[in-house]
């Protein structure tokens, strides 16, 4: 199931990220802010419960502390996915962090896994984060790798995607909800999203 998160603040910040003149610092800051804003939609259906521990308000009332029913695991696809982690953790400081290492073969455009490590917790909800959902190859492989390790409750959170990537994920993993801030037109011959925002990893880390 695809959810495109429409919000004026997201659109303004995304326009900053799309601008080729935007420097790495402002690019990263906008990505952090969008990831935080997207979190409200990605996690809006989570259930909570009362803990036994109570606290006292300034007026003297005593209330139960609230806690999420799920242990949130953020699984950024290296390296660009790391750029979305802090924005989500601003909203969920208790989220655990794993890492999934992927690189794309420049000739075939196929993803290759080289690293995988996720926390092992009770009742996990794994959110795969990656700024771009282009061909969908990396996302599909990452989700498959997560399922192979026994995780079942999985969501995919990306900044910008296109129909080809969405279709690929929905075909291979129809049980995984997809969240995007924008659905762009198409891919070019090099597998980059158009209009897109360029190579997210290079722009996040200033490597190009």
104, 138, 160, 163 from 135: Cα distances, Å: 11, 8, 12, 9
Q: Are the beta carbons of 13 and 30 closer than 8 angstroms?
A: yes
Q: Which residues are catalytic?
A: 104, 108, 199, 202
Give the number of residues written for the chain. 208
Per the DSSP assignment, residues forming a β-bridge with 111 are 104
DSSP H stretches of helix in the chain: 8-18, 24-42, 82-89, 137-148, 163-172, 200-205
């Amino acid at each position: 199931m695809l959810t495109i998160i429409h919000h004026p603040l997201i659109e303004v910040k995304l326009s900053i990220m799309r601008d080729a003149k935007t420097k790495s610092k402002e690019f990263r800051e906008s990505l952090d802010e969008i990831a935080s804003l997207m979190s409200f939609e990605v996690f809006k259906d989570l259930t909570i419960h009362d803990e036994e521990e109570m606290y006292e308000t300034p007026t003297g009332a005593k209330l139960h502390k609230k806690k999420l029913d799920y242990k949130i695991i953020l699984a950024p696809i290296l390296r660009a996915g790391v750029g979305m982690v802090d924005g989500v953790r601003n909203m969920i400081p208790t989220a655990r962090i794993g890492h999934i290492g992927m690189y794309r073969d420049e000739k075939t455009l196929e993803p290759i896994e080289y690293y995988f490590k996720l926390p092992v917790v009770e009742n996990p909800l794994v959110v795969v984060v990656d700024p771009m959902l282009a061909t969908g190859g990396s996302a599909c492989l990452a989700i498959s790798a997560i399922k192979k390790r026994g995780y079942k409750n999985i969501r995919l959170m990306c900044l910008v995607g296109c129909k080809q990537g969405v279709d690929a994920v929905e075909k291979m993993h129809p049980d995984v909800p997809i969240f995007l801030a924008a659905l762009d037109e198409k891919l070019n011959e090099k597998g980059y999203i158009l209009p897109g925002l360029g190579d997210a990893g290079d722009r996040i880390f200033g490597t190009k």
